Amino acid sequence: MTGTVTHDPPPGPADRPGRPLIVTEDAVLLDDLLRLCAAAGATPEVHHGLPESGDGWTAAPLVLVGDDAAHRMCGAARRPGVVLVGRDQDDPGVWKRAVRIGADHVLMLPDGEPWLVDRIADVAEGIGRPALTVGVIGGRGGAGASTLACALAVTSAREGLRTLLVDADPLGGGLDVLLGGESAEGLRWPAFAASRGRVGGGALEESLPELHSLRVLSWDRGDCVAVPPPAVRAVLAAARRRGGTVVVDLPRRLDDGVAEALAQLDMALLVVPAELRAVAAAGRVASAVGMVVRDLRVAVRGPYAPGLDDHEVARLLGLPLAGEVPVEPALLRPRGGAKPPGATGRGPLARFCTHFWERALVETGGIR
């Protein structure tokens, strides 16, 4: 059981660096809290009462106060990020003690263990704002969505942002191939198929191939063509916790795993060639994707059929226009060059990606 006492939310670990603080004299409770800290990858500081140094109390990013020690915390300075931890779910007095010490949460073990491990892991990873997560999906086959996804990721990394590119299309041939890194060392999707619960963001990032200053999660050349939805949810959540940007290349088929990926997007780009059949096909994709993604925009790719332009395509689809994806050889023939799309920083595609990130980061409050 967990409960919340209304206070200002605790600041992120980036604002309050340090180790979590445990305050308790209950040996059994201490053993449990140390076990949970170990599971979350954190090394706590332990005290039986209020630390003699005021900094020990105020600087800790998270404070876990055992219910046995609550009466000794009454003189402590009020601060966010305090959790009162107990075991007796039938004790109505625990809420009064939580208010008395200024706790943000009341948590009862063992029911509250998953929640608490997540909070401790947040401290251990030093997370801040979640990554700006953008999905790219083709309105029809061959629309150039994978090439645009790669170009967006390469451009983000070139601008100095922490960037992770996720290949969510097991039948697409592999984004690592498109980036020229099919032989690069690192894990691919099948290695995460059994993931459940929380995946460490730092460990995930370090395990993936690094190509063109970004990390890539792609597919291997084996027979695995699907990852269970819980694994997709866990891996993408870990990727987002590290901040920066995450770009997801999505297939046009929508299964449970793709739905998990769509649910974690801040924005999706529907890439639509400017031809009537493509617009008709894209309308069906937009109807399905729009049921999950709140911010779906259309990126129109030329050349244009008679009577069509980018604004007309957006009007026909009833979607806001993200812009015109320019025509250039790298987009039409993604494997034709030695460098990946957008790598040079020159050309119309690179300019489109640069302008896209400039607008998107402004809309979402800046670099994360």
Q: Where are the domains of the chain?
A: 19-123, 130-362
Other CB atoms within 10 Å distance of the CB of residue 101 = 21
Amino acid at 297: R
Cα 284–Cα 255–Cα 257 angle in degrees, nearest 5: 130
Two domains, one topology: 19-123 and 130-362:
yes
Instruction: Tell me the helices (H) and strands (E) count for the chain, helix number first.
Output: 13, 14
CA gap 185, 260 in Å, rounded? 27
Segment (H or E) for 81: none
Peptide bond between residue 303 and the one before it cis (omega within 30 degrees of 0): yes
Strand partners, 96: none
- Specify the CATH number of the domain 130-362: 3.40.50.300
Other CB atoms within 10 Å distance of the CB of residue 99 = 14
Is domain 19-123 in CATH 3.40.50.2300, yes or no? yes
**One pLDDT digit (tens) per residue for the chain, 368 residues:** 555 443 333 444 344 446 899 999 999 999 999 999 988 888 999 999 988 776 788 889 999 999 999 999 988 888 999 999 999 888 889 999 999 999 999 999 999 998 898 888 888 777 667 899 999 999 999 899 999 999 999 999 999 999 999 999 988 888 998 888 888 999 999 999 988 777 888 888 999 999 999 999 999 888 777 889 999 998 998 899 888 999 999 999 889 999 999 999 999 999 999 999 999 999 999 999 999 998 999 999 988 899 899 999 999 999 999 999 987 654 455 444 457 787 778 888 999 999 999 999 888 776 54
Closest among 144, 139, 146, 208 to 172, alpha carbons compared:
146
Strand partners, 250: 137
Q: In this structure, what token pair is assigned to residue 22? A: 């445990």
Q: Is the dihedral of CA 25, 30, 33, 34 positive or negative?
A: positive
Closest among 233, 297, 266 to 133, alpha carbons compared:
266
Other CB atoms within 10 Å distance of the CB of residue 338 = 7
Give 167's DSSP letter.
E
Rg of the chain over Cα atoms, rounded to whole angstroms, equals 24
Q: Is the dihedral of CA 102, 107, 113, 115 positive or negative?
A: negative
pTM for this entry: 0.74
CA gap 116, 109 in Å, rounded? 9
Residue 266 exposure: Cα atoms within 13 Å on the Cβ side: 19
